[in-house]
Structure 1
């Protein structure tokens, strides 16, 4: 059943495409993640949330192979990335796209050239075809044609996010990783970005792993939520599970004043729309 306007993809798509099992990550003697386990299912938008500094981005970077882990396994598309051969790693890397915090665009390249970076890394295409594909990706994320020739310094915050998303989609991935995608955006821009993610998921059949602290995104866009705390996943499930979970931080986060305001606004909008078929 859909809730808050979301399609319940998580309950109908059971195939696990990312499986982290008993993962431990330490920096020096400090444990950031300890015996953490988490599954990500095909076709869902998973919101990964937790206190600042808890290790949300650390887990994302560990899944991507950018951080070393001291224990546990991470399988992506059924392949243990750490033990995979070079060819297997290349095959996996072409099936994911990443939007890093703040976009992480190359300042010396135009937007079009930024989108083409994964194509140049993994594919052998003519310059003309790369131009056409990159412009298609920019159109897909809602950027005007003239944005292609601009440099990142000439873009607004929202345009940077969309350009970075276009680059993440450059290789037609199965899964996209989003690290704080709405951070720094005004409420309207953030809502538009959430809607874009939901539309792309439904249109392209994407799986979305979203690290976020944005309650609006969690209430509006996510099929399932996982909460990081005490160096592991405290709870995972739909929004109703978060609202009923008895843990101080989870209760404060999902029952705080701002959360109640969002929930009230959402219920009001649903009531104003009236029953289906009315």
Structure 2
């Protein structure tokens, strides 16, 4: 149970020139008698890669689903691209959904559809395009994420773990979104594959001007591609800022996460 009297940490003041793509204020989410988060504040700036971390079961995925409008909130407001997600009409919500893409942790590809058909699912749902146009666009997205052309006709069961991640990313990019949500994008990948995927995310973010909201446990990703990091504990964001801010935090959980045994090699190497 979250302490209702626990103060919310001071938020970073957004520089005037930086637009906030996702604004979370005073959000409370719970299920039945259990409160998952309370008085939670978070800003995600347009054009940045934000790494979102927290212990298992702390509510990282719950907050992501709340931002996407998939989980109801008990209090507070969530604005995405200037729109309050709780106040949208069905038509307005559908329009907003075309401006974000989601890569789920295990890819969540439709097993009976080929890679190309999976990438075309958002196009069929939100666009009125000819089959030829969808084929061309799907192949463009497949190439964009580094998959070979022949992967387009393969089923998910015929793909490696890394290829599944890339196919799912291609689907997330199908509608040229402003924001991409990534849920543990490098989980299950070997270190080389994870590093390659991080490089792909960084390249696409710069090339397409994406805002990236990335839930991750991968310290390498936090060190190598994230502009800022936000840490979730005690039902709220306990620290947020660039890596230097996180390393300087005196919060016990943050210190344990960034100065623990698994972080020592990275710190020693100056990553």
When normalised by structure 2's length, the TM-score is: 0.93
Measure the CA separation in 1 of the matches of 2:137 and 2:148. 15
Evaluate the alpha carbon distance shift between residue 12 and residue 152 of structure 1 in structure 2; reply closer, same or farther with a 3 A threshold: farther
1:118-163 alpha-carbon deviations (Å, 9 max, x no partner): 0000000000110110000000000000000000011000000000
Flag structure 2 segments of 5+ consecutive residues without an equivalent: 1-13
Evaluate the alpha carbon distance shift between residue 160 and residue 12 of structure 1 in structure 2; reply closer, same or farther with a 3 A threshold: farther
Q: Which residue, out of 135, 142, 145, partners 2:146?
A: 142
State the match for 2:74 in structure 1. 70
Q: Does 159-168 or 75-84 show the bigger shift?
A: 75-84
Q: Which residue, out of 183, 189, 198, partners 1:194?
A: 198
CA contact (8 A) 1:13 1:42 kept: no
CA-CA distance at 1:11 after TM superposition: 7.3
CA-CA distance at 1:263 after TM superposition: 2.4
Measure the CA separation in 1 of the matches of 2:247 and 2:57. 23
The count of residues paired between Structure 1 and Structure 2 equals 258
Q: Which residue, out of 196, 217, 221, partners 1:217?
A: 221
State the match for 1:241 in structure 2. 245
* SS, match of residue 50 in structure 2: strand
Measure the CA separation in 2 of the matches of 1:253 and 1:11. 28
State the match for 1:30 in structure 2. 34
CA-CA distance at 1:87 after TM superposition: 2.3
Measure the CA separation in 2 of the matches of 1:57 and 1:101. 10
Measure the CA separation in 2 of the matches of 1:252 and 1:96. 33
Measure the CA separation in 1 of the matches of 2:250 and 2:184. 26
* SS, match of residue 227 in structure 1: strand
Evaluate the alpha carbon distance shift between residue 247 and residue 118 of structure 1 in structure 2; reply closer, same or farther with a 3 A threshold: same
Q: Which residue, out of 173, 181, 203, partners 1:177?
A: 181
State the match for 1:4 in structure 2. none
State the match for 2:132 in structure 1. 128
Measure the CA separation in 2 of the matches of 1:255 and 1:225. 15
Measure the CA separation in 1 of the matches of 2:177 and 2:15. 22
Flag structure 1 segments of 5+ consecutive residues without an equivalent: 1-9, 268-278
Evaluate the alpha carbon distance shift between residue 70 and residue 258 of structure 1 in structure 2; reply closer, same or farther with a 3 A threshold: same
Q: Which residue, out of 156, 163, 174, partners 1:159?
A: 163
Alignment of 1:61 onto 2:76: no
* SS, match of residue 65 in structure 2: helix
**Structure 1 segments of 4 or more deviating over 2 A?**
10-13, 263-267
